[in-house]
Chains A and B, each alone.
Chain A
Amino acid sequence: MNDIKKPGVSRRGLLKAGAITGLVASTPSFFIKDAWAADFRNNPKNTGELKLGFNVPQSGPYADEGADELRAYKLAVQHLNGEGDGGMLNTFKPSMLTGKGVLGKKVTFATGDTQTKSDAARASAKRMIEKDGVLMVTGGSSSGVAVAVQSLCQEQGIIFMAGLTHSNDTTGKDKRRYGFRHFFNAYMSGAALAPVLNKEYGSDRRAYHLTADYTWGWTQEESIKNSTEALGWETVQTVKTPVGAGDFSQYITPVLNSGADVLILNHYGKDMINSLTQAVQFGLRDKQVNGKNFEIVVPLFSRLMAQGAGDAIKGILGTTNWNWSLQDDGSQAFVKSFGAEYGAPPSMAAQTCYAQTLLYANACEMAGTFYPPEVIKQLEGFNFDGMGNGPTFYRAEDHQCFKDVLVVRGNENPSSQFDLLKVVDVTPRAQVEYDWNIFGGSLGPYIVE
């Protein structure tokens, strides 16, 4: 960790030399432990500490989500170090976590602000890697940031455990060997939502899409469009809206006379809060079209957003990765310790970040080393349970987690200020799985440089 700060001594050169000798020594012995024990970036060696980098938005539109992620990370660190009540450590299985740190090392952390901008997020991640010497980077609240940081981590040979990122690209076109995503994606949202839409609104519907004009919006529009069209729905129009438009009236008014009877809002964050609030204001939900009630669907939303949208979210269908009201042991254990520590339930971003940290720590224990390629191999194809959403599988081919997906509805009659989402349906894992080939991309090598 220290020698990297001094100019002249190039860790990369050293690494390169090490990697080449490793390769020359030929492959069969390569997969045996200790063959790599030589060196790798930010090797904690004998320091007795393992440092993780929590890279979350602390300013900008997702600052509240970032703050919640950070709370979850701190909780995970406590639990890993054996403080507190242990949370999901007690329910997560198969687990080698002991509550005595990871591989005998105490877990510590560095934090940074992504500002939800690719540049700032990369600068922050680089600071953690170059200065603080973190062994793993995690967090974030948008797909652009996740993809940017993920590719940086690949170059640097540091594992990246993505936070909230929903674009198909993160584990599709832009997937990386060093990047892992526990969160679900747009494809899974579409697959989970379709049967419920069919049941609630029937198979003869005409949908109008408003889509945030950037990569995440496009992948979601495509996924939802495909899965609703498979139901027999017709897509009347898809319209791209500028990010941060604020006032969406000029995009909402054409919906009124388009003959569509469902409006699908492929927006997230502030855009979604604004467009939904305004669409409801325009009286869309009181309308009757083609003899049916007009409906609005928001394929991805979270409790924090429901809070921002207020009454407008009531009765709206969408999907979410996780909700605190789930009754399984893992979720309950997590909500309990989070609630005891912070006095409020965790958001879905917090849950994914907490789970990611535990998964990484456990993979290190399983590998018996912090050497990233070995840790990666432990995560690839890992089957586990007890972290919420039932039995979960980390697919080796694209590093995407597969688990049950929640279809939720904005609660019409909340019993408390946190009770904003009602789980309508838990779509089983088998229904949202897909062939990893469909999105292209390649993971890249285990060993970098």
Chain B
Amino acid sequence: MDAIFIQILNGLDKGAAYALIALGLTLVFGTLGIVNFAHGALFMLGAFCAVTFQKLVTISDRVRDEGVTAFVAYKETPYLEIWFGDTGATIIDYSVPLSILFAIPIMLLIGFVMERGLIKHFYKRSHAEQILVTFGLAIVIQELIKAYFGANPIPQPAPEILAGSANVGSWFGLGNNLVYPWWRLIYLTFSGVTIFSVFAFLKFTTYGMVVRAGMRDRETVGLLGIDIERRFTIVFAIAAMVAGVAGVMYTPILPPDYHMGMDFLVLSFVVVVVGGMGSLGGAVCAGFLLGIVQSFASMNEVKEIFPGIDQIILYLVAVIVLLVLPRGLMGRTGVMDD
């Protein structure tokens, strides 16, 4: 019972991550019709916003370690700690959540520049060409990050107070054996809030209404004298920002490295397509579905019956869904059918 409960929690947690990463992709897919292979790179850039922020707040006074003679080794003390004492230490401790504030403007800017500079020229080009150019861009971004930050993952600890686990079992009266890391619970909440905000934005604002109308019929909206191009730029920037903050928040779980975008690229495409093209709700459902199924498939009891099932379960579910439902869970007709 405990095992089942905790795997559901795992699944929700995973699903939230998948949904959040896929959210920006499906926005760009569904509204702009762009197959964005650089989406993973945006996720990675977000994570490196956190790294950069951490590097900034931990600029350190360096004292040479005299015990080492062969090369210069330093014991580092961040200036923030020297100048502000405990307050400085707290800022460093909270560098990951604080770096969201840093990441939001940067990711919006990156998204804006990317759309104006490159993506807008590709709205009318074939999907194949979109793939080539965005894939090329992803490689370039990733190599630049590697050239500067190296290839090794860079640890980004969560704040001290959130480092341990919460006793989830006692909340539900299930005993003391059910614990779950605080940070993962926060991630779960965070992605819920983010997903809801994006929904609300599209659903309840005039702005969002225009965008949704543009998704359905771009020409007519254009004929109404609405500058749909500009709105699309902003949609792209928002997508980049969502991918970015997803990256920031994921760093305590997965120390970021330059390749993490590519690692998530295929997965996010699978989530989006299983959800159905052009459907935000579908992508979210698909994220949770795949997360939960994957968690259960990884249980030892299941693996004993089907060895290696956890290796393929994501793809197996994707195949079954797509064969049973022609347009994924909630896909609309006519979007990316050809």
Q: Do A and B bind each other?
A: yes
A interface, CB within 8 angstroms of B = 59-64, 67, 213, 237, 239-242, 244, 246-247, 249-251, 253-254, 256-257, 270, 273-274, 277-278, 281-283, 286, 304, 307-312, 324, 332, 335-336, 338-340, 342-345, 415-419
Interchain CB contact under 8 A, B73 and A416:
yes
Taking CB atoms, residues of chain B closer than 8 Å to A344 are 71
Taking CB atoms, residues of chain B closer than 8 Å to A312 are 155
B interface, CB within 8 angstroms of A = 2-3, 6-7, 10-11, 13-14, 17, 65, 67-76, 146, 150-158, 163-165, 177, 179-181, 183-184, 252-255, 257, 259, 263-264, 294-295, 298-300, 303, 308, 310-311
Interchain CB contact under 8 A, A253 and B310:
no
Interchain CB contact under 8 A, B254 and A247:
yes
Q: How far is the CB of A85 from chain B (nearest CB, A)?
A: 11
Taking CB atoms, residues of chain B closer than 8 Å to A335 are 70-71
In the bound assembly, the distance between CA atoms of A33 and B108 in angstroms comes to 72
- A244-B263, A250-B14, A257-B2 known; A281 and B152 CB under 8 Å? no
Taking CB atoms, residues of chain B closer than 8 Å to A242 are 310-311
Interchain CB contact under 8 A, B255 and A283:
no
Q: How far is the CB of A322 from chain B (nearest CB, A)?
A: 15
Q: How far is the CB of B1 from chain A (nearest CB, A)?
A: 11
Query: Which chain A residue has the least Cβ–Cβ distance from B166?
Result: A283
In the bound assembly, the distance between CA atoms of A254 and B7 in angstroms comes to 9
Interchain CB contact under 8 A, B253 and A277:
yes
**Interface pairs (14), CB distance under 8 Å:** A59-B151, A64-B150, A246-B263, A250-B310, A253-B10, A281-B165, A282-B180, A304-B152, A339-B71, A343-B72, A415-B67, A416-B73, A417-B73, A417-B74
Taking CB atoms, residues of chain A closer than 8 Å to B181 are 278, 281-283
Q: Which of A60, A282, A336 has the most chain B CB within a 10 Å cutoff? A: A282
Taking CB atoms, residues of chain B closer than 8 Å to A336 are 69-70
Interchain CB contact under 8 A, A249 and B184:
yes
Q: Which of B17, B153, B164, B300 has the most chain A CB within a 10 Å cutoff? A: B153
Interchain CB contact under 8 A, B71 and A415:
no
Taking CB atoms, residues of chain B closer than 8 Å to A416 are 65, 68, 73-75
Interchain CB contact under 8 A, B13 and A249:
yes
Query: Which chain B residue has the least Cβ–Cβ distance from A337?
Result: B70
Interchain CB contact under 8 A, B152 and A419:
no
Taking CB atoms, residues of chain A closer than 8 Å to B67 are 415
Q: Which of A270, A282, A418 has the most chain B CB within a 10 Å cutoff? A: A270
Q: How far is the CB of A291 from chain B (nearest CB, A)?
A: 16
The DSSP consensus for interface residues of chain A is: helix
Interchain CB contact under 8 A, B150 and A274:
no
Taking CB atoms, residues of chain B closer than 8 Å to A239 are 300, 303
Interchain CB contact under 8 A, A415 and B252:
no
- A253-B10, A282-B181 known; A310 and B155 CB under 8 Å? yes
Q: How far is the CB of A127 from chain B (nearest CB, A)?
A: 22
In the bound assembly, the distance between CA atoms of A251 and B3 in angstroms comes to 11
Query: Which chain A residue has the least Cβ–Cβ distance from B60?
Result: A417
- A61-B257, A213-B311 known; A309 and B155 CB under 8 Å? yes
Q: How far is the CB of B311 from chain A (nearest CB, A)?
A: 5
- Ranked nearest first, the 8 interchain pairs of A and B with the lowest CB-CB distance are A310-B155, A339-B71, A63-B151, A416-B73, A283-B165, A339-B70, A308-B153, A416-B65
- A246-B263, A283-B179, A336-B70 known; A419 and B65 CB under 8 Å? yes
Interchain CB contact under 8 A, B70 and A308:
no
Interchain CB contact under 8 A, A308 and B71:
no
Taking CB atoms, residues of chain A closer than 8 Å to B257 are 61, 270, 308
Q: How far is the CB of A233 from chain B (nearest CB, A)?
A: 19
Interchain CB contact under 8 A, A250 and B2:
no
In the bound assembly, the distance between CA atoms of A241 and B309 in angstroms comes to 11
- A61-B151, A250-B294, A278-B253 known; A310 and B71 CB under 8 Å? no
Q: How far is the CB of A174 from chain B (nearest CB, A)?
A: 23
In the bound assembly, the distance between CA atoms of A239 and B308 in angstroms comes to 11
Taking CB atoms, residues of chain A closer than 8 Å to B253 are 247, 277-278, 281
Taking CB atoms, residues of chain A closer than 8 Å to B151 are 59-64, 67
Query: Which chain B residue has the least Cβ–Cβ distance from A285?
Result: B164
In the bound assembly, the distance between CA atoms of A277 and B295 in angstroms comes to 19
Taking CB atoms, residues of chain A closer than 8 Å to B156 are 310
Interchain CB contact under 8 A, A332 and B70:
yes
Q: How far is the CB of B254 from chain A (nearest CB, A)?
A: 6
Taking CB atoms, residues of chain A closer than 8 Å to B68 are 416, 418-419
Taking CB atoms, residues of chain A closer than 8 Å to B311 are 213, 242
Taking CB atoms, residues of chain A closer than 8 Å to B180 are 282
Interchain CB contact under 8 A, A310 and B157:
yes
Interchain CB contact under 8 A, B177 and A257:
yes
- A256-B177, A282-B179, A335-B70 known; A415 and B65 CB under 8 Å? yes
In the bound assembly, the distance between CA atoms of A247 and B300 in angstroms comes to 17
Query: Which chain A residue has the least Cβ–Cβ distance from B71?
Result: A339
